[in-house]
Amino acid sequence: MNEMDVSKYIASGILELYVAGALSEQENQEVAALAQEYPEILAEVEAIEASIRELAASYASGAAPDFAALESQLTSPSVKQLKPGEPEPRRFRLWAYSGWAAALIIGAASLYLLQERNRMAGELDGLQEENTQLETQISQAREGLENANATLKALGEKGIQLVPLTGQQVAPEAYARAFWNTEANRVYIDANGLPEPPPGMVYQVWSLKLDPLTPTSLGLLEDFAADTDKIFALANPNDSEAFGITLEPAGGSESPTLEQLYTLGAVSS
């Protein structure tokens, strides 16, 4: 740079911006280097700086505060001089952590509420299931009551003949009753006195003519164990003289197995 260039450089106004701190880092480095090299440039920078300092000082309220007040604070750990490149000490900033804390609390609360929700949903499912079971029981009980009422009604009808069936050799303790409605050609077997048949076996009811002994099958006491009132209605168009119940293989037999005759009773004439 010759003298002419230096003057031009100064006149450009770049030095004023340098003092203001309004230049790019690259421009700053350039001006700083030129100021070292050219005394005119340095002198100009100093004069510009002086004018701004004077202008600023004219706004001061008087003398600057005493250095002693400042000096007493220099020993405080919070104003410890930082080494080059040393990051600023991190102050504990509540706001910086409060967000995390809030997130944690909300997260924990959400988790708890989710668990609680699942637990309650499970409880609700259980209650609903229990409710269904109770409803089924009620409906079963109602059905049972209706059946019992129907049975009572059937048994109370006119022309019913009661035939007690007593236990035989294979089952002396067993007993049963036949309620025979001769008008309706139906017989109701009360099987409450019969033991539960073994698996694969079923009770079969016979209408008997005695002379000669002629058995006619009236039907099976199916689903014996599941039947709550143990009263079975069977059609009986026969002119029966006695009723017998035998234990037969599932599905029943053509003729009664007399060795497995549980109960037997004659119709009183």
**For another protein, which is the closer residue by CB, 11 or 138?**
11
Q: Site for another protein (CB under 8 A): which residue of 46, 129, 130, 146? A: 46
Rounded CA-CA distance 185/179 in Å is: 11
Q: Are 41 and 6 in contact (CB under 8 A)?
A: yes
Q: Site for another protein (CB under 8 A): which residue of 9, 34, 41, 45? A: 45
Q: Site for another protein (CB under 8 A): which residue of 5, 7, 8, 13? A: 13
Rounded CA-CA distance 27/47 in Å is: 19
Rounded CA-CA distance 150/140 in Å is: 15
Tell me the window of 12-20, 171-179, 241-249, 257-265 that interacts with another protein (CB under 8 A): 12-20
**For another protein, which is the closer residue by CB, 34 or 189?**
34
Is residue 228 involved in binding another protein (CB under 8 A)?
Answer: no
Is residue 50 involved in binding another protein (CB under 8 A)?
Answer: yes
CB of 11 to another protein, least distance (A): 7
Interacting positions 62-121 with another protein (CB under 8 A): 62-65, 67, 69-71, 73-74, 79-86, 88
Interacting positions 128-157 with another protein (CB under 8 A): none
Residues that bind another protein (CB under 8 A): 11-14, 16-22, 25, 28-29, 32-33, 35, 42, 45-65, 67, 69-71, 73-74, 79-86, 88
